[in-house]
A and B are shown apart, each in its own frame.
Chain A
Amino acid sequence: MAATAQTALQVRELAEDRYKYGFVTDIESERAPKGLSEDIVRFISAKKEEPQWLLEWRLKAFRHWLTMPEPQWSSVRFPALDYQDAYYYSAPKAKGDGPKSLDEIDPELLKTYEKLGIPIREQEALAGIAVDAVFDSVSVATTFKAKLHEVGVIFCPISEAVRNHPALVQKYLGSVVPYADNKHATLNSAVFTDGSFVYVPPGVRCPMELSTYFRINAENTGQFERTLIIADKGSYVSYLEGCTAPKRDVNQLHAAVVELVALDDAEIKYSTVQNWYPGDAEGRGGIYNFVTKRGACRGVNSKISWTQVETGSAITWKYPSCILQGDNSVGEFYSIAITNNHQQADTGTKMIHIGRNTRSRIISKGISAGHGMQTYRGLVRVTAKAEGARNHTQCDSLLIGSKCAAHTVPYIESKNPKAILEHEATTSKISEDQLFYLRQRGISVENAVALVVNGFCREVLQQLPMEFAVEAQKLVAISLEGSVG
């Protein structure tokens, strides 16, 4: 049988089963009324018992949002969003005032996270990883808080940070991604519900990996989390996020904002394994993942490194970026994106060189299979002051099957003669020679594809923390199951 025909068959068979996180948790939840209005914004703010300034900020964003057209420039295609046909707040119904400790958490919820392989009971937790678990609109548990507190690291839901650390939040919220940045980020500014807040004090090397696990459960619910991480002078933090959602026929919107701030000599390493429900083999359902992630290297010698493994979502639209303000600051972007079946991804990064001797490195590996459609979109901008700036970009696309598409759209702008910019990109088919060679040695087609693709992605996988790298490698293989006959 021709490889492609066999592929099509296997894709159909597998697509239904391969998303193992597609279950729904049967839990009572409390929702805001459907739809989007100033009242909903006020409702969310009131639920979170927010100070007046934050409500004002949300309302400012909401009013601005009403005036903004939908962004048209990316290559993703989808029917117009009906913002009124969704819920903007959904929380598992709390018994009384909400959980004081893990013992009070609804056992259904604990089971959910167990099924997802995310242990939130500390005694069962992976040593060295603190987890914040966000379920629909609220954070349900944060582990190892006490241990982190000892060294002064703040790791808590952002709604809690608003109450307990208002000065820090007010100083940095919206300072990297302003409320009027883009349509999706502005919506997030108006209706964000939860997310993580991290503050690492000067000179502290965060003793464990911090991790947030996002789960969309409720139907017709958008998730709008907001994450803010501040690494003060000379500090270091590594942060991981993971995402899943149940299988549903209708598309759900996920419009998150992540802001990172690194001060002098600080370093933030941010890793994402995004595995939202991608929709079925025909392209029904799945998450619209419209995310704004941006980091500011404000201080000298600071460093922000983004690593992402994007295998899920019906549509992914995200460009984790670095604004390299401090002299000698470093920005990195390592990405693996996989689009199979009818998935679409338009992803990449922006590296804005402002300080002197700033450096950036971009490695993007895109894999397109089935009817998958993928675009790398990147901007490297060297401003006139960024003397000695350096960028290296490597952008490779691998195509599996004749119906997929891969685009590479880099913008490379330099205003400084003492800057050196290099960009390389390739697009090619998965090699029949390599697959045959591996099969001759007894390796099945599926495993041969997984091996070749993992080899193709190796430089990026190496950037992930150990525990995540193994998971990511498996995820890469699962995402491509049945894509080659």
Chain B
Amino acid sequence: MARQAISADQLLQGFDAGKGALPGRGLPWLANLRAQGRERFRTLGLPTAKLEAWRYTRLRPFEDTQFRPATEADGRINVDVIPALLKGAAARIVFINGLYRQELSNVAGLPAGVSIEPLAKALAAGSGWIADHLGRVAGETPQAFFALNTALMDSGVVVKIARGTSLDLPIEIVHVSGLTDRPIMYSPRNLILVEEGASATVLVHHVGLGAGAYFVNGATEVDVRDGGSLRHYTVEAESIDAINLATAHVRVGRDAHYEAFGLAVGGRLSRSEVSIRLAAPGASCKLNGAYLMRGAEHCDNTTVIEHLAPHTSSREVFKGVLDDESRAVFQGRIVVHKGAQKSDGHQLSKALLLSAGAEIDQKPELEIYTDDVKCSHGAAAGQLDAAQLFYLRSRGIPEALARNLLVQAFLAEAVEEVSDIGVREAMMDKVVHWLPAQCYLQEQWRGR
């Protein structure tokens, strides 16, 4: 008999006791926002396959796992090494099981005009601009988990890059999760405001320790104002039983640019849902990603790029490799609204299936309401090219190595879209380490 997923109300009940301890107590606007989020989540309920956005992703973990709120004790566990990805970062903020760990973080020496704070601290300090943006960039959305995050947000950072400020080195945000007695859930909420003409790079890194289950329900709002530029990277390397759901809303202003890259290399269920609004003339975005799944892992990238103004452009490239019985979903929609003349949008999604049990479901979608546009999408699925494999082997490269080499080359096409060199190298390292053991030989072979 199929197990019953718990209802939205049941899920909320588990969090009622801790409600009073959530950050931003005593802020009426926030209490109001949380209440709205809660109501919305109850109305929407947990997503089912009947929703087009969830057509290919089932919430199985909610059928067999009960999550409790993360506690301060969960956040105080000892971590020997912080799994930072970047050697040179402008700042590093570390969270353990959602809790900000100041002693592990380093935000000293940031230039004037750059402000980075954990959400809880920023709310306590009463930073006024947060009220003007939190929940406002996204607006009303029909996304249950975004609403749930709004109700329960208890972690995450707020970043503000002031007008004209440009920050060259990346900001690294590390979320370490796991090693708790029972499965926990926490809700990081990030807000990134890049003011007029400002620019910055942010890398968010989720990493799991141990093998236990946990659930990270993240939500992010990004506002890139006129002439601003943001490079926004994420790496998800969650534990094998973990769930990471991330919902992002991005608004890009006049002549502003937003570049995103998401790499997913693990987790029982990892889902990234990104909505980008190119809101003013000249706005552009690059939304790229790669995923590598094995075991019974499930990865879902669901994206919407909306061209709302003339002369806006978007590029999207997603590539994935699926081994064992893993499964991936790519749903990418490009919408060109009435009046968004001279817009162009291009999208490409490709997947490699390495094993007979793997599955890929792709749904690239174009929705065009005006005529003077150039839009295209491509999607492909298949296995490694037999001719290429044979060619490499005929040159003396062992089969396992040759496979790795080809997989790596396949993914490199996406990873190369990362314009920050340090982040690109860190991403490629992650890819190489995901590959079977022979990859280390391959590194030597390539003379890296």
Chain A directly contacts chain B within the complex, with at least one CB pair under 8 Å: yes
**Interface positions of A from 395 to 443, Cβ below 8 Å from B:** 397, 399-402, 404-430
CB of B287 within 8 Å of the partner chain: no
> Are B376 and A407 in touch, CB under 8 angstroms?
no
CB of A384 within 8 Å of the partner chain: yes
CB of B99 within 8 Å of the partner chain: no
Q: What total of A-B pairs shows CB separation below 8 Å? A: 113
> Are A424 and B378 in touch, CB under 8 angstroms?
yes
> Are B353 and A425 in touch, CB under 8 angstroms?
no
Give chain B residues whose Cβ lies under 8 Å from the Cβ of A428: 373-375
> Are B368 and A413 in touch, CB under 8 angstroms?
no
Residue of B nearest to A398 (CB): B371
Give chain A residues whose Cβ lies under 8 Å from the Cβ of B376: 424-427
Stretch at the interface among B114-122, B380-388, B429-437: B380-388
Contact partner, A413, options B360, B366, B367, B382, Cβ 8 Å = B360
CB of B272 within 8 Å of the partner chain: no
A402 and B343 CA atoms in complex are apart in Å by: 13
> Are A405 and B379 in touch, CB under 8 angstroms?
no
CB of B362 within 8 Å of the partner chain: yes
Give chain B residues whose Cβ lies under 8 Å from the Cβ of A409: 363, 365
Residue of A nearest to B331 (CB): A411
Contact partner, A418, options B351, B367, B374, B383, Cβ 8 Å = B383
Say yes or no: A407-B362 contact (C-beta < 8 A), given A416-B356, A417-B355, A421-B380: no
Give chain A residues whose Cβ lies under 8 Å from the Cβ of B338: 402
Contact partner, A417, options B364, B372, B378, B383, Cβ 8 Å = B383
> Are A414 and B360 in touch, CB under 8 angstroms?
yes
A482 to chain B, nearest CB (A): 16
> Are A402 and B371 in touch, CB under 8 angstroms?
yes
Give chain A residues whose Cβ lies under 8 Å from the Cβ of B373: 399, 427-429
A430 and B382 CA atoms in complex are apart in Å by: 33
CB of B370 within 8 Å of the partner chain: yes
Number of A residues contacting the other chain (C-beta, 8 Å)? 33
A345 to chain B, nearest CB (A): 14
Say yes or no: A427-B366 contact (C-beta < 8 A), given A400-B371, A401-B371, A414-B381: yes
A293 and B381 CA atoms in complex are apart in Å by: 27
Give chain A residues whose Cβ lies under 8 Å from the Cβ of B445: none
Residue of A nearest to B352 (CB): A417
Which of B338, B351, B369 lies at the interface centre, i.e. has the most chain A CB atoms within 10 A of its CB? B369
A394 to chain B, nearest CB (A): 10
Say yes or no: A421-B382 contact (C-beta < 8 A), given A399-B373, A404-B371, A427-B368: yes
A400 and B372 CA atoms in complex are apart in Å by: 9
> Are B377 and A425 in touch, CB under 8 angstroms?
yes
Contact partner, A407, options B341, B353, B354, B368, Cβ 8 Å = B368
A313 and B358 CA atoms in complex are apart in Å by: 42
Give chain B residues whose Cβ lies under 8 Å from the Cβ of A425: 364, 366, 376-378
CB of B359 within 8 Å of the partner chain: yes
**Interface positions of B from 6 to 23, Cβ below 8 Å from A:** none
Give chain A residues whose Cβ lies under 8 Å from the Cβ of B351: 414
Contact partner, A384, options B356, B363, B370, Cβ 8 Å = B356
> Are B353 and A416 in touch, CB under 8 angstroms?
yes
A413 and B348 CA atoms in complex are apart in Å by: 16
Contact partner, A415, options B359, B377, B378, Cβ 8 Å = B359
B333 to chain A, nearest CB (A): 9
CB of B361 within 8 Å of the partner chain: yes
Interface residues of B (CB under 8 A from A): 338, 341, 351, 353-383
